[in-house]
A and B are shown apart, each in its own frame.
Chain A
Amino acid sequence: MRTVSIEEAVSLIPNGASLMVGGFMGVGTPERLIDELVRQGKRNLVIIANDTAVPGRGIGKLVGAGLVAGTVASHIGLNPQTQAQMMAKTMAVELVPQGTLVERIRAGGCGLGGVLTPTGVGTVVEAGKQRIDVDGKTYLLETALRADFALVHAFLADYLGNLSYALTARNFNPVMAMAADTVIVTAENIVPVGLIAPDHVVTPAPLVDYLVANG
């Protein structure tokens, strides 16, 4: 793990990169990384996230700045800019049931090729997917998702990179921290090693590549 400035962290991300971004309606989203992506004008990004928040918040800032070429999400209903860009075909949007989205990411981080889920069988979600019957029940094969980068927001990070999260700001963050080639973390508080008790570490330090310095 290396500690980097916010400018350096975002300079690692090339145009066209795929980014998993933690957060749920902007709660638990690494807002400083988003702001710096906008400032550095990174383009043609592919965003994998639960949602695109609302205009002016979290991922909504990337959408509003026209930096997103593609989105994989479960819900875009509260961001009219995402819907407008999808209708105008300037952004490709793949809508995925929320439980399927998180399991595809989990699979990507766990060395699995995908998961079998009953969700979506017989609906428009099934299009183009393989049906597999196991013990008389029908499932869809949903393939694993990975990204070039995971942008993760924690509540506590220690100097080694062990992470813990706060309340509902946890959401997709720890799952995404497993499923990307490079993991960049911001934290509300960066604390001495030992301050997060071993039982309370959610994301182990070896998973974190870069911790963004506070201040």
Chain B
Amino acid sequence: MDPQTIIARRIARELHSGMLVNLGIGIPTLVANHVPSGIQVFFQSENGLIGTGPIPEQGMAHPHLTDAGGRPVTALPGACTFDSAMSFALIRGGHVDMTVLGGLQVDANGHLANWMIPGKMVPGMGGAMDLVTGAKRVVVAMQHTAKGKPKVMRQCSLPLTSLRVVDLLVTEFAAISFPDGRATLLETAPGVSVEQVKAATEADLVIPGKVEEMAL
């Protein structure tokens, strides 16, 4: 299984029926492909849609129905649309049960940096700062390292997205949570040892007595 699929499948296990969920671009988008059967989740697209469906079939795209990246999507039965003020009232107001976002860095306390690399990449934060600040649960989907360098840091060197600490970080190596603001290893991916996770992580990890294997 490739790293992105491991991450997306593990995060999909966090979904429960009735949840309102916002998926960021990149790996988070893939989570929608792995929703466990029998579960109905409402996916929000922050450009003004609840009930985002899959990419339309060839020739079926509607110019007024897109995701937050401007790509054509479909709307599932029961979908609804609204303006951007409503969309961010849902996000900031704590009505979104879970958001899944990509990450550049996560630190030992659970702070996320995911919106800029000073001097290199300044795309703007879009909705990320509001999502991390306002969603009930924040899950980060990111690869454990970038070109061999750790992304789970003692302290983020990149500008933070929010002071709010994330709830869960899922990489292709591990699931890490942040109880009391301390990075704690919950699970390792199949075939990955605790030592391997520690070696690929700059932050000090709390290792509980029992670390489960990620169920995928």
Q: Give chain A's interface residues, CB within 8 Å of chain B.
A: 24-28, 50-51, 53-54, 73-78, 83, 86, 95, 97-100, 102-103, 106, 117-125, 155, 165-175, 202
**Residue B91 lies at the interface, judged by CB distance under 8 Å to chain A:** yes
Could you tell me if A100 and B130 are in contact, using CB atoms closer than 8 angstroms? Answer: yes
A86 to B159, CA, bound (A): 19
Q: What does the 1/0 interface line of B158-195 toward A look like (CB < 8 Å)?
A: 01111100000000000000000000000000000000
Verify B126–A167 contact, CB threshold 8 A.
no
B92 touches A98 (CB 8 A): no
A117 touches B126 (CB 8 A): no
* Nearest Cβ on chain A to B76's Cβ, whole angstroms: 13
A167 touches B162 (CB 8 A): no
Instruction: Say yes or no: A119-B92 contact (C-beta < 8 A), given A27-B64, A95-B122, A168-B45.
Output: yes
- Taking a contact as CB atoms closer than 8 A, the residue among A51, A98, A166, A167 that contacts B88 in the complex is A98
Is A167's CB under 8 angstroms from B75's CB? yes
What DSSP secondary structure best describes chain B's contact surface? loop
Q: Do B81 and A99 touch across chains, with their CB atoms under 8 A apart? A: no
> Taking the complex as formed, is B110 at the interface, i.e. its CB lies under 8 A from any CB of chain A?
no
Interface residues of B in 109-148 (CB under 8 A from A): 121-130, 133-134
13 A–B contacts from the bound complex (CB under 8 Å):
A24-B84, A27-B63, A27-B66, A75-B123, A77-B121, A77-B123, A77-B126, A97-B130, A99-B88, A102-B87, A119-B130, A123-B159, A173-B83
Q: Is the beta-carbon distance between A50 and B84 smaller than 8 angstroms?
A: yes
Q: Given A24-B70, A78-B70, A97-B125, is A175 in contact with B85 using a C-beta cutoff of 8 Å?
A: yes
Which residue of chain A lies nearest to B67 when distances are taken between CB atoms in the complex? A168
Mask of B189-212 contacts with A, CB within 8 angstroms, 1/0: 000000000000000000000000
Q: Contact between A103 and B126 (Cβ–Cβ < 8 Å)?
A: no
* B65 CB-CB contact with A under 8 Å: yes
Contacts A28-B64, A123-B162 known; A174 to B129 CB distance under 8 Å? no
- The smallest C-beta distance from B159 to any residue of chain A, in angstroms, reads 5
B interface residues, tally (CB under 8 Å): 40
A95-B124, A172-B84 known; A121-B163 Cβ under 8 A: yes
- Chain A residue numbers with a CB within 8 Å of B129 are 97, 99-100, 119-120, 123, 125
Cα A209 to Cα B138 with chains together (Å) = 43
* Beta-carbon contact of A168 and B65 below 8 Å: yes
Measured between alpha carbons, how far is A121 from B70 in the docked complex, in Å?
29
Residues of B within 8 A of A155 (CB): 64
**Bound state CA distance, A86 and B123, in angstroms?**
11
Residues on A with beta carbons closer than 8 Å to the beta carbon of B121: 77
Chain A residue contacts of B65, Cβ below 8 A: 167-168
Residues of A within 8 A of B127 (CB): 74, 97-99
Contact of B70 among A27, A100, A165, A202 (CB under 8 A): A27
A53–B66 CA distance with the chains assembled, in angstroms = 13
Kindly list chain B residues whose C-beta atoms are within 8 Å of the C-beta of A106.
85
**Nearest neighbor of A86 in chain B, beta-carbon distance:** B122
Which B residues, 31 to 50, have Cβ-Cβ distances below 8 Å to chain A? 45-49
Residues in A with CB closer than 8 Å to B134 are 99, 118-119
In angstroms, how far is the closest chain B Cβ from the Cβ of A179? 11
**How far apart sit A58 and B130, CA to CA, in the bound complex (Å)?**
25
What B residues does A173 contact at CB under 8 A? 83
